[in-house]
């Protein structure tokens, strides 16, 4: 399911940024990048500096992003997952290009209901990192919440202009209150999730601390380097959870 979410997110990102998807299966996408997206996610600053300084003809990369690894997948490309640097760069590009939008379902003469949609990234940090992506939507009139909201949006025809003779119903739940409710839903998920990763990290932390203490067990007044190394272990192993809104918007839907 996570691989499918990544694939769908990438597909939406490249379509919305006008990159041509030249080949696609359920396991990978081959994409012809635009110059702008190449600059943002492909780590070629010297190439682009040269092109811009010489006013040369740009040649954006064509890249195959593999979203599901298989033994019999006979294709060359870059495997991309939530922990990968490339995925972080795409998340950052999404933010930079506009993480909040207002769009309408493209139906003439319809009464449109207001929804807040938000894509959350949840990061579990210790000496190892696990990241999850959640897409939630909340109706601003009756407060119902839907999961996989990005998938719902991608199945609709949306426009950034109010359709002819359409009417937007006024919302009752404020957008800020809606975001708070979605954040609470994410927090409830975390509270009920398997948090054994945190206990395992604390065990590794304890072992490392015992090794450090062993080196200084005969030293009555511990030197400054001991405190530095002890603090470094805490920063490395201390379990922490970060919730971040990657993108979102106000959507008026039928």
DSSP the chain: -HHHHHHHHHHHHHHHTT-EEEEE-SSEEEEE--HHHHHHHS--HHHHHHHHHHTPPP---EEEEE-S--TT-----EE--TTSHHHHHHHHHHHHHHSEEEEEE--TT-EEEEEEEEEEEEEEESSSEEEEEEEEEEETTT--EEESHHHHHHTS-EESSPPTT-EEPPPSS-HHHHHHHHHHHHHHHHHHS--HHHHHHHHHHHHHHHHHHHHTTT-SS--HHHHHHHHHHHHHH--EEEEEEEEEEEEEE-
* Confidence (pLDDT) at 199: 93
Mean pLDDT of 131-157: 94
* Confidence (pLDDT) at 206: 94
Which residue did the predictor score with more confidence, 168 or 74? 168
Asked whether residue 10 carries a pLDDT value surpassing 80, the answer given is yes
* Confidence (pLDDT) at 134: 94
Asked whether residue 62 carries a pLDDT value surpassing 60, the answer given is yes
* Confidence (pLDDT) at 97: 80
Mean pLDDT of 204-225: 90
Q: What is the pTM of this model?
A: 0.63
Asked whether residue 40 carries a pLDDT value surpassing 60, the answer given is yes
- Token pair of 209 as six digits: 């601390």
* Confidence (pLDDT) at 105: 96
Mean pLDDT of 57-75: 88
How much is the mean pLDDT over the chain?
92
Q: State the Cα–Cα distance between residues 35 and 12, nearest whole angstrom.
A: 18
pLDDT class of 250 with cuts at 50, 70, 90? very high
Asked whether residue 50 carries a pLDDT value surpassing 80, the answer given is yes
Query: For residue 149, which of 25, 9, 243, 21 has the smallest C-alpha distance?
Result: 9
What lies within 8 Å, CB to CB, of 69 at 6+ separation is 79
- 86-127: per-residue pLDDT in tens? 999 998 898 788 668 899 999 999 999 999 999 999 999 999
* Confidence (pLDDT) at 225: 92
pLDDT class of 71 with cuts at 50, 70, 90? confident
């Amino acid at each position: 399911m996570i691989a499918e979410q990544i694939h769908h997110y990438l597909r939406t990102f490249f379509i919305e940024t006008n990159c041509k998807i030249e080949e696609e299966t359920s396991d990978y996408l081959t994409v012809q990048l635009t110059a702008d997206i190449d600059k943002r996610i492909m780590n070629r600053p010297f190439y682009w500096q040269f092109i811009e300084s010489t006013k040369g003809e740009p040649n954006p990369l064509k890249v195959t992003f593999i979203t599901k690894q298989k033994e019999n997948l006979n294709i060359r490309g870059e495997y991309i997952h939530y922990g990968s640097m490339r995925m972080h760069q795409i998340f950052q590009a999404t933010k930079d290009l506009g993480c909040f939008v207002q769009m309408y379902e493209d139906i003439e003469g319809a009464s449109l209901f207001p929804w807040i949609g938000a894509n959350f990234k949840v990061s579990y940090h210790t000496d190892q990192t696990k990241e999850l992506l959640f897409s939630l939507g909340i109706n601003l009139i009756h407060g119902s919440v839907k999961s996989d909201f990005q998938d719902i949006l991608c199945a609709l025809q949306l426009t950034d202009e109010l359709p002819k003779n359409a009417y937007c119903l006024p919302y009752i739940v404020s957008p800020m209150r809606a975001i708070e409710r979605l954040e609470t839903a994410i927090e409830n998920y975390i509270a009920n999730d398997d948090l054994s990763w945190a206990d395992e990290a604390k065990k590794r932390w304890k072992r490392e601390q015992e090794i450090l203490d062993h080196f200084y067990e005969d030293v009555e007044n511990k030197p400054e380097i001991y405190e530095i190394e002890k603090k470094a272990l805490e920063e490395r192993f201390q379990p922490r959870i970060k919730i971040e809104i990657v993108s979102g918007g106000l959507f008026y839907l039928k």
